Structure 1
Amino acid sequence: MTALTHDPARTTPAGPARSRWIPRLGGPVWLVWRQHRAAFWTLLGATVVGVIVMVHLRGQMMDYLATQDPTSRRSGGLPPEFEAYTDPLFDIGSYLSYIPVLAGVFLGAPLVAGDLETGTAKLVTSQSVSRLRWLTVKLAVPAVMLALSAGVLTGVLTWWWHPVKGLSSGLIWTAFFGVTGVTPVAYALLTFTVGVAVGLLLRRTLVSMVVTLGIVVAIGFVRDELWRSLGHVMSVSTDKGVGPGAVQPELPAEAEQQGQGTYFLTSSGDRLDWTTCLDQVEDDRAHTACLESQHVIGWSIDYLPVSQMQSMQWLGAGIMLAVAAAVGAFVILWGRKRLL
């Protein structure tokens, strides 16, 4: 009878035992993580640090507000010392506004351009991995990491700002429109995909980063000029005249005035520019007579209410995500045919 032998290599695990619940990366996902692990860990580390700092500063602000009279909070009568707790809110909000720039220039532009420049793309696609799968994973993994990081940071910033919004003119909703809610996530994904597309077309890392920077700056300029058009402009008016003692209409709380200023309202419902009869303003009688000849009965002011903030953010985010999806589709379709 042959004696049974014991083979330790077959019964003893080669390394420490892993739980079956711990996900394991493999294939292109593992490769993308391995290639860009420094950027991903930096992104995760910055997110954790940012969250800790914002939670701490918010706690200090809420402790200070708890010592103040609730009436003064509602009336905007907080002392000047309150600015010491809101200044960090502005500062960190301005820092987070650079996330889309960093996403496009330092994450998107080198993503594919670096692999094309070093020959990694040719090596990977010469194996069993198809171009379609490689490009899809190459886009998806950083996009998920970026969306997660931007979402967490802007979510915490929104949570920090929400208790004090409207307590002063500097804390009005329009000042935080671009750095709270869903807008920063969509904006970062848009600049990221634009950077990837530029890198795919130019195939040189440094050149792609410079060109992407210019494009991202242009996108930011257009966005800053047009985001108010996402809302529905409303107006408030009076019909008690514009002479001495007449009171101009008062805007709702936290509303932002739009247009050139106050318009003159006529009896027919038309609006005249505030420069109407301006050449006769030095003579009260002549000025009044001029306005009466124009049938002016009061003032009218255009404004955007704070109630439209979320709908405007979602509409803007939807547009940016649609453009980002189109650019991502272009990257995949173009890359399948002309990657190498």
Structure 2
Amino acid sequence: MIWLSWRQFRVQALVAAVALILLAAGLVVLGRQIRDGGYSGAELREHFQGRVYLLDAVLLLMPALIGLFWGAPLVARELEAGTHRLVWNQSVTRRRWLTVKLLLTGLAAAVAGALTSALLTWAASPLDRFTGDRFSTIFFGTRNLAPVAYGIFALVLGIVVGLLIRRTVPAMALTLLALVVTQALTPNLIRPHLMTPEHMSAPVTAEVVRNLTFLGQQPEISGLKLPGAWVISTSRLRTADGATVPADAYGRCVAGSFDKAADCLGALNLHVDIDYQPTSRYWTFQWLESALYLGLALLLTALGLWRIRTSAD
């Protein structure tokens, strides 16, 4: 059964192996260039940030590719063509048939995710230490443990969707939709609350305002950065006594140029209340989110093993 599963999977595995070898070679070259050039932090950002972002985008796409091209067709194609009946009639139980496929491809997905994540984490580590932005969506999802869990979840999701739908193309489409939704919701709605955030108040000086990404018509700000922390949410601008800054006073400040608005708001002695996650919790978040995705993969596996036992030929 293992040999048969390998023969059915070998084309996808060989294509992936070639792609991984090329990607690994590129990551090794990039890592050596970053380390051997004697660059300062600012120079690292200037010369290598674009290339690292491109590689981050590739790794963010890997789980979707695994789910689409390894997971969804693996069972759906056999059910659609009827070739599963030959195996089921050779004293191989349905659950064993599915379990072998899950284990073989799951191991391949774990190895692919671990290899690429380890190499990118190593290659980009000098730049990551300079930027210090470990919790951002693109960095958190492409470093260390998380990519391995993402790949396994995507694979199992694709296999189970294919088992339920029994048609390859619709299974691929639904798998892609589910992965897009999952990867959009997790960093924005789930990850910030895996642990209870810390709270603090931070002064809004003119320098702070100049470093913001958003200054709208209402007394609220966006893009506030806190050294050594991941800012989850900020309150509206508050005066020294804790009240929301009057709209007319805020409006007068932002009516002029951005520099004048920064000086004007800085003179009002304002502050904001912040919910944040300390960077010291990074590894805890990596383990928690990986456990979440692996737990979902186990639940999907249980669903698939139950469904295949009760499904008609």
Which TM-score applies when normalising by structure 2?
Answer: 0.80
Q: Which runs of 5+ in 1 are unaligned?
A: 1-27, 285-295
- The CA RMSD over aligned residues, in Å, is 3.0
1:35–1:272 Cα change, 3 Å: farther
Whether the aligned pair in 2 keeps the contact of 1:262 and 1:301 (CA below 8 Å) is: no
Code of the residue aligned with 1:50 in structure 2: it is: L
Q: Secondary structure at the match of 1:167?
A: helix
Q: Secondary structure at the match of 1:58?
A: helix
| Residues in 1 aligned to 2:312 and 2:286: alpha-carbon distance in whole angstroms | 36
- Structure 2 match to 1:51: 24
Task: Give a deviation string over 1:80-111, Cα, whole Å, max 9, x none.
Answer: x7422222111011111011111111111111
- Structure 2 match to 1:204: 167
How far 1:327 moved relative to its partner? Answer: 0.3
1:3-22 matches, cutoff 5 A:
none
How far 1:58 moved relative to its partner? Answer: 0.9
Match for 1:86 among 44, 49, 53? 49
**Aligned: 1:40 with 2:9:** no
**Aligned: 1:229 with 2:203:** no
Higher-Rg member (1/2): 1
1:178–1:280 Cα change, 3 Å: same
Q: Secondary structure at the match of 1:97?
A: helix
Q: Identity across aligned pairs (percent)?
A: 30
Whether the aligned pair in 1 keeps the contact of 2:134 and 2:282 (CA below 8 Å) is: no
- Structure 1 match to 2:103: 140
Match for 2:246 among 259, 277, 285? 277
1:231-246 matches, cutoff 5 A:
231-237=195-201
Whether the aligned pair in 2 keeps the contact of 1:251 and 1:303 (CA below 8 Å) is: no
**Aligned: 1:253 with 2:216:** no
| Residues in 2 aligned to 1:304 and 1:205: alpha-carbon distance in whole angstroms | 42
How far 1:333 moved relative to its partner? Answer: 1.3
Which TM-score applies when normalising by structure 1?
Answer: 0.74
Code of the residue aligned with 1:186 in structure 2: it is: A
Q: Secondary structure at the match of 1:148?
A: helix
- Structure 2 match to 1:185: 148
Whether the aligned pair in 2 keeps the contact of 1:265 and 1:300 (CA below 8 Å) is: no
How far 1:179 moved relative to its partner? Answer: 1.0
| Residues in 2 aligned to 1:266 and 1:137: alpha-carbon distance in whole angstroms | 64
1:168-183 matches, cutoff 5 A:
168=131, 173-174=135-136, 175-183=138-146
Q: Which runs of 5+ in 2 are unaligned?
A: 210-223, 254-268
Whether the aligned pair in 1 keeps the contact of 2:153 and 2:293 (CA below 8 Å) is: yes
| Residues in 2 aligned to 1:124 and 1:245: alpha-carbon distance in whole angstroms | 69
| Residues in 2 aligned to 1:132 and 1:244: alpha-carbon distance in whole angstroms | 64
- How many equivalent residue pairs? 283
1:231–1:49 Cα change, 3 Å: farther
**Aligned: 1:335 with 2:298:** no
